[in-house]
Amino acid sequence: MSQSDFTSIEDVLSGETVGKTIQVRGWIYRTRSSGNIVFMTLRDVTGVLQATVKRGNLPDAEFEDAVKALIESSVQITGVVKEDKRAPGGYELQVTNLLVVNFAEPFPITKDQSPEFLMDQRHLWIRSRKLTSILKVRSTVVGAIHSFFRGKGFYEFDAPVLQPNQCEGGSTLFEVKYYDEKTYLSQSWQLYAEAGVFALERIYNMGPTFRAEKSKTSRHLSEFWMAEMEAAWMDLSDVTMLAKEEVKYIVSQVLEKNRKELEILEQDIPKLERIVSEEFPTITYTEALRILKEKEGMEIEWGKDLRTVEEDNLMKHFSTPVVVTNYPLEIMAFYKPMDEKDPRTALCFDMLAPEGYGEIIGGSQRSTDIAAMTQRLEQMGECVGNYQWYFDLRRFGSVPHSGYGLGVERLVAWICKAENIKDTIPFPRTLLRFRP
C-alpha cells in the first residue's frame, strides 16, 4: 500500500477531486445509520469529510461492517467525490468500498464530560478537534523558535537535565536520587548557557523544564518547555528587542501556517495580525505600579512582586504584549544585576501577554559581580561552594551578557486563547496529576 494511493481529506475539500474515484483513510468521527444508508463523518489529520454508504453501492458484507463500526474505528474507504452544499466542507464521498482496519470498542468519551474525566482519558482526548488544532499551533511555534534563532546565527546548545544547582529558587526544585547522592531536574538552562556563550557567543535551546509549583493555577505546569537564549555582548535593551522580534515572528508563522486551526479555535485573526504590526511598549515596574494606581485604584507597595491579579489588571490597558523592566532587586534571582541608574532595581524584564495570559518571557542582563552574587546566595541559604564553576565564568574573560526564557505553553495558550495551560501540551504534569 503506497502513501500516494490515498487522498487527504483536505485535498478532497479543496474540490480538485470532484467526480473522481479516490481512497481516503482515517477514523470515524461520527456515524448514524438508517435502513439502507449509513452517514459517517471521517477524520484524518487534515480535516473531516462526510461519507455516505448506501447498500447496493458496495459489497453487502462491507455495508454490514459500516453499520457495525462505532466511532473511532479506523477505516479505508473508496468512493466517488460529489459536491454537496449540505455536507460539512461542501463535498461528500459516495462509498463503493469500505475496509474497517480496526473495529473500535465503545468510545469512553461522549459529550459533556468533566475536565478531570477528559484528563484521565488524555491518551484518547488528544484526538479531539480542539486539542489537535492547538497541538498543530504548538508544532508551528516550536518550529518557528528554531528557525528564528538559527536565522540569526545562534547555535543550539544543550545543558544537562540533571543539575546540582538551583537557578530559580529552592522551593520549586524536583529532587532526584543520583546513585548515592541527590540532584535536581533542570529549572532552567541558563547557568550552563552562561558557560556556553564564552565559546559560542550566541546560543539558544528549547527543552523540558521542571518546577515543583506548589499551587494550582491555570498558568503553571510542573513540566513545561522553555525556549531560552543567551548571548555575549548583549545588554538588557538588546535582549528585550530580540524578545519582541521573536514573539512577532512566531505569531506571523502561526498566521501563515495555521489559519484553519485558528478558525476551528474561533480565534480573532485580525487581532493576531495587529500583534505582528504594532509596537510592543516597554515600561518599568515603577510605571506599572503607577498605571495600576491611577487607572485601577490598586495601591501596590513598591518592592512587592506583581501577582497574577496585578498583571491582569495592568494588561487591561494594552492590546499587545508589554515588556516590564526594572523590578525591585530584592525580589529577583541572585544572578540579576543592579541597575546603576536606579540601584533599587535590577536590569531585568518580563514580557506580559494581554488578555490575562500573564508572563510569557522572563529575562535579564547577568551579574558579573561575584561578591554581590555570593551575598545573595548566602542570604538564600545556598551552598556557595556549588557555584564556584559559575563564578569562574566571571574570572576568565567575563563580558556583559544577557538572556531570557520564553514559556512555550504560555505563548501557545495566549495565541490559541486556551482556557488552561494544560491544553497546550499533550500530557500535562501538574501539582495533582502525572498520569497517564
Contacts to ligand ATP by CB under 6 A: 168, 211, 213, 219-221, 224, 226, 358-362, 405, 407, 409-410
Least Å from the CB of residue 305 to ligand ATP: 8
Q: Is 153 exposed, middle or buried (0-12, 13-18, 19+ CB in 10 A)?
A: exposed
Type of residue numbered 263: E
For ligand ATP, the closer CB: 43 or 220: 220
Q: Nine-digit cell at 38?
A: 449509513
Nearest Cα residue to 125 out of 432, 422, 357, 429: 422
Distance CA 346, CA 332 (A): 7
For ligand ATP, the closer CB: 26 or 407: 407
Specify the 3-state DSSP secondary structure of 244: helix
Least Å from the CB of residue 344 to ligand ATP: 19
For ligand ATP, the closer CB: 196 or 405: 405
For ligand ATP, the closer CB: 11 or 238: 238
For ligand ATP, the closer CB: 221 or 239: 221
Least Å from the CB of residue 2 to ligand ATP: 42
For ligand ATP, the closer CB: 88 or 328: 328
Compute the chain's Rg from CA coordinates: 26
Least Å from the CB of residue 212 to ligand ATP: 9
For ligand ATP, the closer CB: 85 or 216: 216
Distance CA 223, CA 221 (A): 5
Nearest Cα residue to 255 out of 241, 278, 279, 271: 271
Helix (H) or strand (E) holding 290: helix 285-296
Distance CA 213, CA 215 (A): 6
Least Å from the CB of residue 361 to ligand ATP: 5
Angle at 192 between CA 186 and CA 194, to 5 degrees: 135
Least Å from the CB of residue 177 to ligand ATP: 23
Least Å from the CB of residue 215 to ligand ATP: 10
Phi, psi for 168 (deg, rounded to 5):
-115, 20
Q: Is 349 exposed, middle or buried (0-12, 13-18, 19+ CB in 10 A)?
A: buried
Distance CA 45, CA 381 (A): 52
For ligand ATP, the closer CB: 26 or 428: 428
Least Å from the CB of residue 271 to ligand ATP: 21
Place of cell 564553576: 389
Measured from the Cβ of residue 369, the count of other Cβ atoms closer than 10 Å reads 14
Least Å from the CB of residue 82 to ligand ATP: 47
Least Å from the CB of residue 410 to ligand ATP: 4
Distance CA 146, CA 138 (A): 13
- H-type helices in 45-189, by residue range? 60-68, 115-120, 122-125, 129-151
Q: Is 151 exposed, middle or buried (0-12, 13-18, 19+ CB in 10 A)?
A: exposed
Least Å from the CB of residue 332 to ligand ATP: 10
For ligand ATP, the closer CB: 57 or 187: 187
- H-type helices in 74-128, by residue range? 115-120, 122-125
For ligand ATP, the closer CB: 53 or 221: 221
DSSP3 helix / strand / coil % (the chain, rounded to 5): 35, 30, 35
For ligand ATP, the closer CB: 87 or 234: 234
